[in-house]
Amino acid sequence: MKHLSQNLGELIKDLRQQAGVSQKELCKEICSQSEISKIESGKILPTIYILMGISSKLGVEPSYFFNQLTKKQFDIIYNVKNEIRNHVHEKNYKKVKTLVDKYENHSSFQTIEERQFILWHKGIIEYYLHNNLKHSLCFLEESLRTRESLKHNIQDIHILNSLAVIHSETGQYLEAIDLFKLALRYYFGLNSNIDYKIYNKLCYNISKPLISNKNYKEALTYCELGVKNCLETHSNYLLGGLYYQQGYIYSLKQEYQKSLENFTKAHTLFTITNKKLFAAKTLEKIKNQGPI
């Protein structure tokens, strides 16, 4: 409430000054000048009656203040979350920590959704920056509990993906597979499956612990589903990685012709998208391919 009153007060003051109206003129027949002063300084919130009077004097609808406050908050949330996710993608976890520390107590990040986002990234920081698996799992599991009484949304699915990836990277393959499958169930339970990227990511990521568990058939099935989704949504997101995984699985099964076909597709995509390290790694796989 304190942050709301401060932001609303600043908005009223800015609008009053732009209109060239003094506090004395603004408060006439509405309230005392002392109240206007307290409202503008964020010490108190105006009543509906006072806010309607202020709106009328300043020539705006009462909804103007709400719209401006929510737009400002939305812009902050969108930009910060987008920046954090970009740093995660680039594996710049120090930057992630800097932003999480800065916005953890910010007024815009106190809703359930945004607190969950912060906890999620604290979990990522603990594992990838501090190498603390125990603390990482605690934060990630806590983030999921913040919304456990609500319908699952796309952010829950991203968190389950992070949790499953960490289990997979620490050799807990069965736990990872179960979490990926839970995330996929959440995905298909959404009213609208508009985030094709997370589906591609889940199909790609689940193939890794399945391969480690030598469950090649199921791993291949998920890769095929991911490729199918890429083609249907006209997206190259993780398409090269999915072809690479298929090539790798076929090589483990000693089906070298199919392996070569998929590695070649992966290499082409990595080259086109300028992913030089992946392209070089795939080319090495092609050169070292077994008998065909």
In whole angstroms, give the CA distance from residue 252 to residue 241. Answer: 17
In whole angstroms, give the CA distance from residue 205 to residue 217. Answer: 15
Query: Crossing angle, helix 173-188 and helix 196-212, to 10 degrees?
Result: 160
Which two structure tokens, joined as six digits, stand for 289? 């391919």
What's the predicted TM-score (pTM) here? 0.79
Is residue 291 very low, low, confident or very high in pLDDT (cuts 50, 70, 90)? low
Q: What is the pLDDT of residue 58?
A: 86
Residue 217 has pLDDT above 80, yes or no: yes
Give pLDDT tens digits for 87-125.
999 999 999 999 999 999 998 898 888 999 999 999 999
Q: What is the pLDDT of residue 3?
A: 61
Give pLDDT tens digits for 225-276.
999 999 999 999 999 999 999 999 999 999 999 999 999 999 999 999 999 9
Residue 168 has pLDDT above 60, yes or no: yes
Average pLDDT of every residue of the chain: 92
In whole angstroms, give the CA distance from residue 290 to residue 260. Answer: 9
Contact partners, residue 273, CB within 8 Å, separation at least 6: 236, 240
Give pLDDT tens digits for 7-49.
788 889 988 887 788 999 999 999 999 999 999 998 898 999 9
Which two structure tokens, joined as six digits, stand for 124? 């990522």
Highest-confidence segment of 64-68, 212-216, 287-291: 212-216
DSSP-assigned states of every residue in the chain: -HHHHHHHHHHHHHHHHHTT--HHHHHTTTS-HHHHHHHHTTSSPPPHHHHHHHHHHHTS-THHHHHHHHHHHHHHHHHHHHHHHHHHHTT-HHHHHHHHHHHTT-GGG-SHHHHHHHHHHHHHHHHHTS--HHHHHHHHHHHHHTTTTS---HHHHHHHHHHHHHHHHTT-HHHHHHHHHHHHHHHHTSS----HHHHHHHHHHHHHHHHHTT-HHHHHHHHHHHHHHHHHTT--TTHHHHHHHHHHHHHHTT-HHHHHHHHHHHHHHHHHTT-HHHHHHHHHHHHT----
The residue among 5 and 232 whose pLDDT is bigger is 232
**Residue % of the chain over a pLDDT of 70:** 95
Q: What is the pLDDT of residue 88?
A: 98
Residue 136 has pLDDT above 70, yes or no: yes
In whole angstroms, give the CA distance from residue 197 to residue 199. Answer: 5
**Residue % of the chain over a pLDDT of 90:** 73
Nearest residue to 121 via CA among 105, 106, 136: 136
Is residue 167 very low, low, confident or very high in pLDDT (cuts 50, 70, 90)? very high
Highest-confidence segment of 130-139, 144-153, 185-194: 130-139
In whole angstroms, give the CA distance from residue 287 to residue 34. Answer: 81
Q: What is the pLDDT of residue 292?
A: 53
CATH number of 2-60: 1.10.260.40
Instruction: State in Å, rounded, how far the first CA of the chain is from the last one.
Output: 70
Residue 189 has pLDDT above 70, yes or no: yes
Residue 185 has pLDDT above 80, yes or no: yes
